[in-house]
Amino acid sequence: MEKKVHELKSSFDLVIETSGDKNTTLANINFNRALGMRLAFEEFQADFVLGIEEDSLISSDSLVFVERVFNRHHGSRKFMGVNLGSIEPRSLNDISGYSRLRYGLQGQAGGLTKRAWRRCNKLLKDFDNENVGWDSRLEYFLKTGYMITPNISRMCDYGWLDGTHASSDPDDIHFRSLRENWIDDRVDESLEYKEVPVLHSWRKDVVLFGFSTQLIAKLRSIDLVRKFAVKIGSLVKR
């Protein structure tokens, strides 16, 4: 990756090399991702920042998709960002469709709006946890609004190669579903993206954005309420 960055250095506005001196790989990832987001939003005054991990590929229309849905939704205070990954079958969904989901940020390929970042930046202040990913720290706040997600994946994840908390098996159902369903060929530039609500199966806690799920999401975004619920849940299981 370092070699590739140097090859393409002239195409970048800014390249920053960090020391990587945290105690764990995950801690280094937390630091680097937060630093990158802060620079993009605060120094470059970006309205939207898309992060892509080095072991992920994105579809040819990904940036067009992000730009168009951003332009369509940026006026909504509930719009938090865009995720590019989906494991929904290509055979059952139109390539132009997307859903509004109560979900967190996909670290492999996902982005946030400036409005969402203002709150996320506060959540990540002094956050350098070696055992918890930076994206999980933001998850419950992001669920108080919605993330736009294409119904057919615009991302393919190769995270089995050297992942921090993913399966090392390339035939794991997660990786296999992404390979089978992502758009790996060119997409017509005139494609009109449209909202087609589909319940995604990325994880069990993914729900469609709607009024009925609003109260639960807001309660879970409060740390004390969430910790209390977890404690009660553990006692009930005993």
Instruction: Calculate the average pLDDT of the chain.
Output: 89
Residue with more model confidence, 236 or 185:
185
> Domain extents for the chain?
2-230
Q: How many C-beta neighbours within 10 Å does residue 54 have?
A: 11
pLDDT digits (tens, 9 = 90+) for 64-76: 999 999 999 999 9
What are the Cα distances from residue 208, in Å, to 88, 101, 150, 192?
14, 5, 13, 21
Its pTM stands at 0.88
Closest CA to 31 of 139, 146, 162, 124: 124
Q: Quickly state the pLDDT bin for 191 (edges 50, 70, 90).
A: very high
Running DSSP on this structure, what letter comes out for residue 39? I
Closest CA to 129 of 22, 2, 4: 22
Average pLDDT over residues 153-171: 78
pLDDT digits (tens, 9 = 90+) for 85-134: 999 999 999 999 999 999 999 999 999 999 999 999 999 987 777 788 89
- CATH fold of 2-230 reads Spore Coat Polysaccharide Biosynthesis Protein SpsA; Chain A (3.90.550)
pLDDT digits (tens, 9 = 90+) for 31-43: 999 999 999 999 9
Average pLDDT over residues 189-206: 93
d(CA 86, CA 214): 23
